[in-house]
Structure 1
C-alpha cells in the first residue's frame, strides 16, 4: 500500500507538471500566433481570398509625400518606384557610409548614404531629417524598411500578405497631418501587451543619454519648448524627467510602444524639434557601445516620444 501511495504521488506530480507545461505552451503559442498570425497569412495566400480588408485606395495625390528607406541593394526597393509612383523616395545605402557625419550640404541624390552603419534603420531615418531639414521636408514622410512583403521579413506589417505597398496605399494621409505621428503597426503585440516583459532596452541611463541636450521640456530650461516629454512628478503615466531618470540609471523605464520602426510623420511635427535635437540623438547612435540590434531597438521604442506623442495610461 505504501508503494502504491508513492506511485500515486509521482503520477500526480507528473500530471501537474504536464498540465503546467501545456498551459505555458498554449499561452506562448497564443501570444506568438497573435504576433505573427501564420493562419491569416495562409488564408490570404489562397488565390480566391480577398487580399484587402480596406476601402478604396487612398493616395496622397493632393499632398507632397516621400518614402524614406534604408537598403543594401537597389533591387530591394524597386517596388517603391514601380508600385508607388505618386510618392517621392529617399533611398539610403547603409553599407556605404559617408565620411562626414556633420555634412549638412545637399546629399548625393543618386546614392544617399549614412555617416555610419549603426543603429539599423534609425541611422537612416535621423540622417534624412538632418540632411533635408532646411530644404524643406515634404508634408508627409513615411519611414519604412526595404522589404515589400513576405511572412518572415515583413510579418510586422498589418496588411494581407504583410505588404508594405498596401500599407502605404491605404495610409490615411489626412490623419497623419492631423496627429503628426502614426505608427504603421496597429497590432500592439509585441510591444504593449500584458504578456510583454518590461522594456529592457530603455533604461534611465539610456533615456538621459538620448534626451539630454535636447529641447525636450524635461531636459530643457525653455518652458515654451515642444511638448514631446512632460514632467514625471505628477503621474507615473507621464514620461520621466531628468530628475526621475537620475534615480533610474540601473532600472528599466516602463515605456511601451507597438513595434517595429515603420511609421509616418508630418513635416510640421518634425519641425517641432530644432535640427540640433536630431543631431544629438544621432550622435548617441554614433557614440553608443550598444550593437546595431540593441541601439536600433532602443530607438524603436522612442520614435513616438521623439515625435511628440504624449504618455497614456
Structure 2
C-alpha cells in the first residue's frame, strides 16, 4: 500500500494525465492496481480509506457515508484547482460484475477506454450494457404508492434533487442513466460546475438527519445521478 501512496504523493497536474479515484476498505485487494500502474505510467491513484480506523498511508474522505460517493466528491473538492486531464472513478476490487464488454476485470476496462471519447463527450460511463438504469430508472414526480408508504428516497426525489443541485434546479420528469458508479470525466466537464456545487453535494451526503436516506441510500441516489452531476441530460 505504501508504494501506491507514494505515487499519490508524487502527483503533479503538469505530468499526470489520468487520476484513478476509488474508495477502499482493508479487505479490498489492490495488487491489480499496483501491476496496472507499472505500464500505465501517466496514471496516478487517489485511494480513500473508508474504514472507521483509516489506513494511515491512504487519503481520508470528507465523510464516511456512501462509500465511493464520499471518496469521489472528496477528490473533486481537494483537487478542483489542479485536476489532471482525465479523472476516472472506479471501484477498488479487481473484478466487478458490472464490467461487461471486456470482461469482469477493471484493468481490462481501463485499458480499452478511449480518451478521445472522454474528450468528445466529457463524461463516459465505463459500463456498456444499459440494464439496469436505462432508459428510465426514476420518475421523480410519479413515485409508486409503495415508495410513498415506505418514505423511500424515490418518493422524496424532487426534494433530494433540489438539495443536491440547488433550489433553482428543474427536476426532470424522468431520470435514466447506466448503473454502477464507474465513469471517466474530463477536467473541463468537472469544472463546468463551480466548486460550491460540490460543497453542497458533500454537505448533503454528510447530513445524517434525513429520514429517507441511510448510508446505502446516499450511494444509491448518487449512482442514479452521476451523469447529471457531470453535465449530461436526465436520460443519458
Whichever of the two has the greater Rg, that structure is: 1
Equivalent residues of 1:97, 1:114 under 8 A apart: no
Q: Which has the higher contact order (CA 8 A, sep 6+)?
A: 2
Specify the alignment match of 2:23 in structure 1. Answer: 70
Asked if residue 191 in structure 1 is aligned to residue 191 in structure 2, the reply is: no
Deviation sequence 1:99-142 (CA, Å, 0-9, x none): xxxxxxxxx993200122101211100000101112x1110010
Poorly superposed stretches of 4+, deviation over 2 Å: 196-202, 310-313
Q: Unmatched 5+ residue regions in structure 1?
A: 1-61, 99-107, 220-231, 233-238, 241-252
Q: Shift of residue 185 of structure 1?
A: 1.2
Asked if residue 91 in structure 1 is aligned to residue 47 in structure 2, the reply is: yes
Equivalent residues of 1:96, 1:113 under 8 A apart: no
Specify the alignment match of 2:86 in structure 1. Answer: 140
- Taking structure 1 as the reference length, the TM-score comes to 0.59
- Taking structure 2 as the reference length, the TM-score comes to 0.77
Asked if residue 128 in structure 1 is aligned to residue 82 in structure 2, the reply is: no
Q: Secondary structure at the match of 2:19?
A: strand
Q: Number of aligned residue pairs: give it.
A: 203
Asked if residue 80 in structure 1 is aligned to residue 80 in structure 2, the reply is: no
Output aligned runs, 1:224-243, within 5 Å: 239-240=171-172
Q: 1:302 aligns with which of 216, 225, 228?
A: 225
Q: Unmatched 5+ residue regions in structure 2?
A: 1-14, 141-146, 148-152
Equivalent residues of 2:135, 2:235 under 8 A apart: no
RMSD of aligned alpha carbons: 2.6
Asked if residue 270 in structure 1 is aligned to residue 216 in structure 2, the reply is: no
Output aligned runs, 1:3-82, within 5 Å: 64-73=17-26, 76-82=29-35
Q: Secondary structure at the match of 1:174?
A: helix
